[in-house]
Structure 1
Amino acid sequence: METKNSASDAPELAEPYLRAVLDTAGLAVEYVRAEGNTLFQRGEDGGEIPVADFAGGYGSVLLGHNHPAIVARARELLAAGSPVHAQFSRHPYANELAAELNRIIHRELGDQEPYFAIFANTGAEAVEAAIKHAELDRGMRVAALGARVAEEIGAARAAVAEGTAALSARTRARFGAAAGEGRPAALEAVLAGLERANAGQLERPPLFLALERGFHGKLGTSVQLTHNEHYRTPFKSLGAQARFVPHGRPDVLKEVYAQERGVLLSLELTDGQVEVVEREFPVFCAFLVEPVQGEGGIHVLGAEFAQEIQRFCAEIDCPVVVDEIQSGMGRTGALLSSSQVGLRGDYYTLAKALGGGIAKTSVMLVREARYRREFEIVHSSTFAKDSFSCEIARTVLALLEADGQAAYRRATERGRALRAELESVQAEFPDQVLAVRGRGLMLGMEFRDQSQADSEILRELATSGLFGYFLAGLLLREYRVRTFPTASAVNTLRFEPSLQLADDEIALLGAGLRELCRVLRAQDGARLTVPAAP
């Protein structure tokens, strides 16, 4: 069915199906201006209607829409003709940005190991870069292991051929070499058995670990590490293999390791005997973790489980990729939300608020112990590391760090005030609100399932996969409050406003949520729907 663009009455060609879905929920409004914590909606008379923005660009506008200092810096850069396209040249602004990120990370981690920066344009691209780098690193470790095994087997083979060592009974038995069989024949049988066993291991694809409910993007590889099967399944033939681990279950980590562990078989000389030994094969490429799961329903990683993940990955030499795309950049009261639970990443991905709501930029950081310089040649991005986005990101960091890191304290304080209001609503409507979760200015409210509601409309909405969007639609229409559900947990509304969040906006949201709860309690499903246009 053709959708019309109301502004021009032309056919809607820019994602028309999505536009139609937004129409049904009452969210397909046009915003014409943005300032601070406010978006301005175009009214029917062409005027502006202020809307309190609790969606915050999915966490991108922590400092507020069109922050004056960021806008001024952007204008300054554009007026000066700052070169956006100067690829394959010296980029001092990128290096200075990387240095400032390192300075803050060192403070939060209490460690001075440097992190090397690979810049990108979006969060999903930063995740893809981390995945690619981790696989490059794994591949180089596999090659080194293969060379070591080949050297060990060659040394054992020579020793047996020279008569200075003999195959042990265990080695003969393992590969079917008869006890009375001559030395050359027995040796060939063992070597053939080793080759067969190792060939299967060397052909194994990398295996990734990720948490259940996790979201790491929708690109070709990152979507396979996103838990939501509706995003993964259509593209399962394209991407990486992953095992998903439930929160707080270190026993599952051990089970997955036992099931998936791989070894290369080698030969070792011990007291004139040739014995078969196992060399750990790096099957696991990386473990991806969000400190606060955004799209998965605003679930916070606990400190105890974070430490279990850290220990497990250290034991099996699996790098930890900490996805801070939504939770990082000060939103939870620190540059790295993971630092608040004692989790240290081998990789970090930062995006969204890094660009100050204006520049489209992201970064993947790799600790020195893991870094492979070869990656800089095999990976690149046209718009990454440009002067405009790097200078805007430096301005963002300066604002976060100003006045003794006041912005982090502000995020904590405003988050505490917002959470108190959400918990007040939950206490008043426990029959409708299941939980309030999150940290800092990254909070969520989960509503109880309505799939068995008395109202037919509510039942249909609850099973449509769009329930949260209709909740958000009522808040927008009746209270001029903008928020969205989390993509993989549509009963959970997310709240990621800016640091400029005011008390009266918190009160307005509280009033809207209370009315929403009264609508659900009364089973008034019709209030959530938008009447069809005549």
Structure 2
Amino acid sequence: MTQSPRISPTTAALVEQSERRSAHNYHPLPVVIHQAEGAWVTDVEGRRYLDCLAGYSSLNFGHGNPVILAAARAQLDRLTLTSRAFVHDRFADFCAALGDLTGKDMILPMNTGAEAVETAIKVARKWGYEVKGVPDGMATIIVAENNFHGRTTTIVGFSTDPDARNGFGPFAPGFRVVKYGSADAIRDAIDDTTVAVLIEPVQGEAGVLVPPDGYLTQVREICAENRVLMIADEIQSGLGRTGDTFACDHEGVVPDMYVLGKALGGGVVPVSAVAADAAVLGVIRPGQHGSTFGGNPLACAVGIAVVELLSTGEYQTRARELGALLHGRLRGLVGHGLLAVRGRGLWAGIDIDPSLGTGRQVSEALLERGVLVKDTHGSTVRLGPPLVISEEDLMWAVDRLAEALSDLR
């Protein structure tokens, strides 16, 4: 039998005030975080928790990473915003660094992941009309079911999640939804109006769904054969999370466009970007797209520091090695409270046996034991701690999960 986590009067009051004075677009766990360092956070009562969500991959390099904070502090003392009406002295370095990391000629910086996805959609359509020759207003983009690319009205219009979609129409046309993991479904959906295929190399919000081996390679080939852009949404899966710099790297695939965000801001500021070659991003001209804060000096300074951290390969290696330990331990819990384990690198989706409880109840049970995770789609819990987590702490978290599952039985 499950019970709600114990909440102190101070925490209860702060949670109640938050609920009363803010829109209810989230359903947070009843914990109020006050400070953090590395993989650990501390609440207003002084209790510590191991963060195994990492801001949905925004905190790949940990809370308060000293390299990232030093870059941010140095920039704060000099210049934080000019808008793109002028050129600032960190912009070229950021574009060059991220261009080198992705192997692309051009960078279009934005702020949030959803903005970057919207940017990729606009660029793909413009490319389709100006380069491929699709009749104006007829461009179509293929997407996958169970996708999560953000929550703007355009994006939720091609979502298959009722919570994300219902009640927000009418929606923009021009999207075709196909089965995730099926290259044949993509091939069958392509016609002369198709300008792009937009997919997550690993579907995070859907429960850390990894496609079949060879899928990304086939998508790359199909896109090339049909003169269609392959757009990889690596907002959650990229920048070290899966054990490579990008999840596409696991199959040696290079998309036409990378969509990046979350960890690119180092857990300090929102930073996102689209990376592509000039033959693609070059279709955008002055006045056709922009952002007041996109590519601001502070964001660029932080982004440069993030790219430098990734250049050593240390974080990719940690995600790969610790991920192997994590998945090995989690597989041992299948049949003992877990129905399935999926994922890649230091990222896992676990399906809870519904006879024990929901994903929310397991998340609350772990909260009681000092571990922060979050449920998705009812029965699934995601684990994605900062890549700086120690092996000892990671194994401690799995022990707490095993304990919670045992207590629920």
Q: Deviations over 1:90-112 (max 9, x none)?
A: 23422212212222233xxxxxx
Letter in 2 for 1:424: G
Q: Deviations over 1:283-338 (max 9, x none)?
A: 11321111111101101133411122122222222211100000101112222211
Higher mean displacement: 320-329 or 303-312: 303-312
Shift of 1:224: 2.5
| Aligned position for 1:424 | 332
Aligned length: 399
Letter in 2 for 1:328: G
| Aligned position for 1:100 | 97
2:330 pairs with 1:439: no
Q: Deviations over 1:179-230 (max 9, x none)?
A: xxxxxxxxxxxxxxxxxxxxxxx57643221122221111121222333233
SS at match of 1:124: helix
| Aligned position for 1:136 | 126
Q: Could you tell me whether the CA contact under 8 Å between 1:425 and 1:510 is conserved in 2?
A: no
User: Aligned match of 2:359 in 454, 468, 473?
Assistant: 468
CA distance in 1, matches of 2:402, 2:19: 36
Alignment of 1:440-455 (within 5 A): 440-448=345-353, 450=354, 453=355
| Aligned position for 1:482 | 372
Q: Could you tell me whether the CA contact under 8 Å between 2:15 and 2:32 is conserved in 1?
A: no
Q: Could you tell me whether the CA contact under 8 Å between 1:332 and 1:411 is conserved in 2?
A: yes
Shift of 1:5: 7.7
2:161 pairs with 1:253: no
Q: Deviations over 1:482-510 (max 9, x none)?
A: 01123xx3322111111221233223222
CA distance in 1, matches of 2:365, 2:156: 31
SS at match of 2:343: strand
SS at match of 1:299: coil
Letter in 1 for 2:254: R
User: Aligned match of 1:510 in 392, 398, 408?
Assistant: 398
CA distance in 2, matches of 1:377, 1:335: 33
Shift of 1:32: 0.4
CA shift in 2, pair 1:11/1:95, >3 Å: closer
Q: CA RMSD in A?
A: 2.4
Choose 1 or 2 for highest CA Rg. 1
Structure 1 alignment gaps of length 5 or more: 107-113, 146-201, 262-280, 459-466, 523-534
CA distance in 2, matches of 1:126, 1:401: 23
Letter in 1 for 2:364: G
CA shift in 2, pair 1:39/1:491, >3 Å: same
Higher mean displacement: 121-130 or 331-340: 331-340
Q: Could you tell me whether the CA contact under 8 Å between 1:425 and 1:513 is conserved in 2?
A: no
Q: Could you tell me whether the CA contact under 8 Å between 1:206 and 1:240 is conserved in 2?
A: no
Q: Could you tell me whether the CA contact under 8 Å between 2:98 and 2:107 is conserved in 1?
A: no
SS at match of 1:326: coil
| Aligned position for 2:382 | 494
SS at match of 2:228: coil
Q: Could you tell me whether the CA contact under 8 Å between 2:113 and 2:260 is conserved in 1?
A: yes
| Aligned position for 1:411 | 319
2:167 pairs with 1:234: yes
Normalised TM-score (structure 1) = 0.70
CA distance in 2, matches of 1:414, 1:210: 32
Shift of 1:10: 5.7
Q: Could you tell me whether the CA contact under 8 Å between 1:483 and 1:495 is conserved in 2?
A: yes
Q: Could you tell me whether the CA contact under 8 Å between 1:216 and 1:225 is conserved in 2?
A: no
Q: Could you tell me whether the CA contact under 8 Å between 1:355 and 1:389 is conserved in 2?
A: yes
2:231 pairs with 1:321: yes
Q: Could you tell me whether the CA contact under 8 Å between 2:33 and 2:44 is conserved in 1?
A: yes
SS at match of 1:251: helix
SS at match of 2:281: coil
Q: Could you tell me whether the CA contact under 8 Å between 2:102 and 2:275 is conserved in 1?
A: no
SS at match of 2:332: helix
Shift of 1:362: 0.5
Shift of 1:239: 2.3
2:287 pairs with 1:377: yes
Alignment of 1:57-68 (within 5 A): 57-68=55-66
CA shift in 2, pair 1:294/1:7, >3 Å: closer
SS at match of 1:378: coil
Q: Could you tell me whether the CA contact under 8 Å between 1:136 and 1:375 is conserved in 2?
A: no
CA shift in 2, pair 1:435/1:115, >3 Å: farther
SS at match of 2:167: helix
Normalised TM-score (structure 2) = 0.90
| Aligned position for 1:356 | 266
Q: Deviations over 1:453-507 (max 9, x none)?
A: 4x8xx5xxxxxxxx32222111101x11001123xx3322111111221233223
Letter in 2 for 1:137: W
Q: Could you tell me whether the CA contact under 8 Å between 2:62 and 2:388 is conserved in 1?
A: yes
CA distance in 1, matches of 2:149, 2:315: 26
CA distance in 1, matches of 2:90, 2:285: 21
CA shift in 2, pair 1:68/1:431, >3 Å: closer
Higher mean displacement: 319-328 or 92-101: 92-101
CA distance in 1, matches of 2:105, 2:345: 26
| Percent of aligned pairs sharing the same letter | 29
CA distance in 2, matches of 1:203, 1:71: 46
Shift of 1:12: 4.4
CA distance in 1, matches of 2:154, 2:114: 9
Letter in 2 for 1:130: A
SS at match of 2:147: coil
User: Aligned match of 2:37 in 35, 38, 44?
Assistant: 35
| Aligned position for 2:275 | 365
Q: Could you tell me whether the CA contact under 8 Å between 1:215 and 1:225 is conserved in 2?
A: no
CA shift in 2, pair 1:204/1:431, >3 Å: farther
Letter in 1 for 2:400: G
CA shift in 2, pair 1:307/1:18, >3 Å: closer
Letter in 1 for 2:338: V
CA shift in 2, pair 1:345/1:368, >3 Å: same
CA shift in 2, pair 1:407/1:204, >3 Å: closer
Q: Could you tell me whether the CA contact under 8 Å between 1:224 and 1:241 is conserved in 2?
A: no
